[in-house]
């Protein structure tokens, strides 16, 4: 399977495969089996769920593919080194902190959705590069960028009037 095929996940097919696998491995189906078989089913079910969650989201999928193919992991200590991009992230955070109403947050989330989509697109372009020319360092930077925009999206979803904005990068 090529990198492009690993990156370009058909979400409907992924969900259908997950459901088929869960039908086979779900612990509830093993009530009449031995304790050992029930334990194995629980382990398999947990692995199937973890795989599904990893592949379903672009950020976790990118992190996984980087680790699998480049041996490069992304840690909380990894930061953006692009000052213009960092400034854009800080401005988005400030705008969210200053938001007073749900429509304010909805507008910020829509702006951020565009940034997320652009970053996911750039990552996809890198994964589709031909002849083994994948630039892993550039992919790692884009994945870190995606983490920042994903955290802004999470903070927008969790926003509540009068409550502090909590972001983790």
The answer to whether residues 87 and 148 belong to one domain is: yes
CA distance 153 to 51: 22
Beta-carbon contacts of residue 56 (< 8 Å; ≥ 6 apart): 9, 11, 14
The answer to whether residues 50 and 99 belong to one domain is: no
Domain of 51 in residue numbering reads as 3-56
**For 135-155, what is each residue's pLDDT tens digit?**
888 999 999 999 999 999 999
Q: Taking Cα atoms as reference points, which of 69, 53, 87 lies closest to residue 3?
A: 69
Does 78 fall in a domain? Answer: no
CA distance 102 to 99: 8
Please tell me the predicted confidence (pLDDT) of residue 34.
Answer: 87
CATH number of residue 103's parent domain: 1.20.1280.20
**For 83-113, what is each residue's pLDDT tens digit?**
999 899 999 999 999 999 999 999 999 999 9
Number of structural domains (the chain) is 2
Does 164 fall in a domain? Answer: no
- The per-residue pLDDT of the chain, averaged, comes to 89
The answer to whether residues 24 and 89 belong to one domain is: no
Does 62 fall in a domain? Answer: no
CA atoms within 13 A on the CB side of 31: 2
Please tell me the predicted confidence (pLDDT) of residue 55.
Answer: 96
- Per the structure block, which two tokens stand in for 37? 């078989």
CATH number of residue 23's parent domain: 1.10.287.110
The answer to whether residues 140 and 101 belong to one domain is: yes
Does 145 fall in a domain? Answer: yes
**What number of other Cβ atoms are within 10 A of residue 72's Cβ?**
16
Does 141 fall in a domain? Answer: yes
The band of 131, judged by pLDDT with boundaries at 50, 70 and 90, is low
The answer to whether residues 88 and 30 belong to one domain is: no
- Tell me the residue length of the chain: 169
25-29, 40-44, 123-127, 165-169: least confident range? 165-169
Domain final residue, candidates 56, 72, 96: 56
Does 14 fall in a domain? Answer: yes
Does 77 fall in a domain? Answer: no
Please tell me the predicted confidence (pLDDT) of residue 12.
Answer: 96
The band of 132, judged by pLDDT with boundaries at 50, 70 and 90, is low
The answer to whether residues 87 and 32 belong to one domain is: no
Domain final residue, candidates 56, 71, 91: 56
């Amino acid at each position: 399977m090529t990198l492009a095929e690993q990156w370009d996940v058909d979400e409907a097919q992924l969900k259908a495969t997950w459901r088929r696998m869960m039908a086979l491995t779900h612990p509830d189906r093993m009530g009449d089996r031995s304790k050992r078989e029930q334990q194995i089913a629980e382990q398999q079910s947990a692995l199937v769920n973890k795989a599904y969650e990893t592949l379903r989201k672009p950020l976790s999928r990118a992190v996984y593919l980087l680790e699998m193919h480049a041996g490069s992991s992304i840690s909380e200590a990894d930061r953006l080194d692009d000052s213009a991009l960092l400034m854009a992230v800080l401005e988005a955070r400030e705008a969210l902190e200053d938001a007073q109403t749900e429509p304010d947050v909805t507008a910020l989330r829509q702006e951020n959705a565009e940034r997320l989509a652009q970053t996911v697109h750039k990552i996809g372009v890198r994964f589709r590069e031909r002849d083994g020319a994948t630039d892993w360092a550039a992919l790692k930077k884009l994945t870190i960028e995606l983490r920042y925009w994903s955290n802004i999206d999470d903070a927008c979803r969790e926003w509540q009037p009068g409550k502090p904005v909590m972001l983790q990068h």
